[in-house]
Amino acid sequence: MTNKNWIDLALKYGGFMEQDKIFLENRLTELSSDTEKKLLVTPPASVLNAYFAELYQKRSPKDATNYFFELSKALELFQENPDFRLEGKSGAENFRFVRLNLSGKAFGFCYRNMAEEAVVFSEFPLKITPTLLFEISQIFPDYVLFEEEGRIIMKPADLGGSFDYMESLSDLTDLSENDKFMKLSGYNVEDLLENAEKIHYFNPLLLQYHQQKFNLYISKGF
C-alpha cells in the first residue's frame, strides 16, 4: 500500500485526526516495512475500547461491532488464540481486543477470521456454562454464541430465515421451527435449558438474546 493508503486508514480507524497528517507522512516515510506502518496506524487499546464503548452506548451494539470488525479486516487484527497478556508481544504487536466486564469478571473478545467469527475469552480460567453464554449474549444481540473445544465462539446470527410457531413446551418456553433449526424462546434461562434436554439435542447449542427474549437454537442437521 502507498503511504496515502496508510494515512487514510489511520484517520479512519487509528484515533488520528486531520492535524496529524504531517506527523503521519513523516513517520511513514521513515518506516520501511508494512509491518511497521501497520503498527503505527493501529489504534492503541485505550482508543479502540473508548470508541467501541461510545458507539455501543450512543448508537447500537451493531454499530460498535461493525467498527471493530471493519478495523480487524483493514489492519489484519484477526487472532485465533487470544489472551489478555498477548498485546505487544513479538509477532502480535498490533493485536487488539475489546474488553468486557461481566459480573465483576474481566473478559475480552476479538475476531478470528473474515467470516466475522469471534473468540470471547476471560482473563483467568473459567468454566463455560450455558448461563455464562446467555449472559454474554445479552451484550451482543446480533450474534449467537456457542462452546467450541473449550472456548466461547460468537458468530453472526444467520439462522436460515423466519421461524413458524409450533407449540408451547411449558408456561415459559415456546418452540418454533424453520428448515434448519428448532428455536426455543422464553424469558427464563433454566426453563429453556430443561426443555432443550428433553429434546435430546446432539449438536452444540446456539444461544442468543434478542428482542428481550432468550433464544436457544438446535440444529436439524443431526
DSSP state of 93: T
Residue 91: per-residue pLDDT? 87
Grid coordinates belonging to 129:
456454562
Task: Mention every residue, 6+ apart, whose C-beta is less than 8 A from residue 19.
Answer: none
**The three three-digit cell numbers of residue 80, written as one number:** 485465533
* Residue 222 confidence (pLDDT): 52
Distance of CA 116 to CAs 14, 67, 112, 150, Å? 20, 12, 7, 19
Q: How far apart are CA 219 and CA 201, in angstroms?
A: 8
Model confidence over 155-213: pLDDT tens digits?
998 888 899 999 999 999 999 999 989 999 999 999 999 998 888 776 778 999 988 89
Average pLDDT for 84-112: 92
- Residue 177's beta-bridge partner residues? 164, 182
Q: How far is CA 31 from CA 2, 41, 51, in A?
A: 12, 12, 27
Identity (one letter) of the amino acid at 121?
Answer: F
pTM: 0.90
Q: In this model, does residue 14 exceed pLDDT 80?
A: no
Q: Strand runs (DSSP E) across 139-205, as ranges?
A: 143-148, 151-156, 164-168, 173-177, 181-186
Please list the residues that pair with 111 across neighbouring strands.
118
Q: pLDDT of 38-71, one tens digit each? A: 999 999 999 999 999 999 999 999 999 999 999 9
SS3 98: strand
Exposed / middle / buried, residue 167 (Cβ in 10 Å: 0-12, 13-18, 19+):
exposed
* pLDDT at residue 99, rounded to an integer: 97
- Coil, strand or helix: which one is 186? strand
Instruction: Please state, for a pLDDT cut of 90, what percent of the chain lies above it.
Output: 78
State the Cα–Cα distance between residues 126 and 171, nearest whole angstrom: 33
Spatial contact of 79 and 110, defined as CB atoms under 8 Å apart: yes
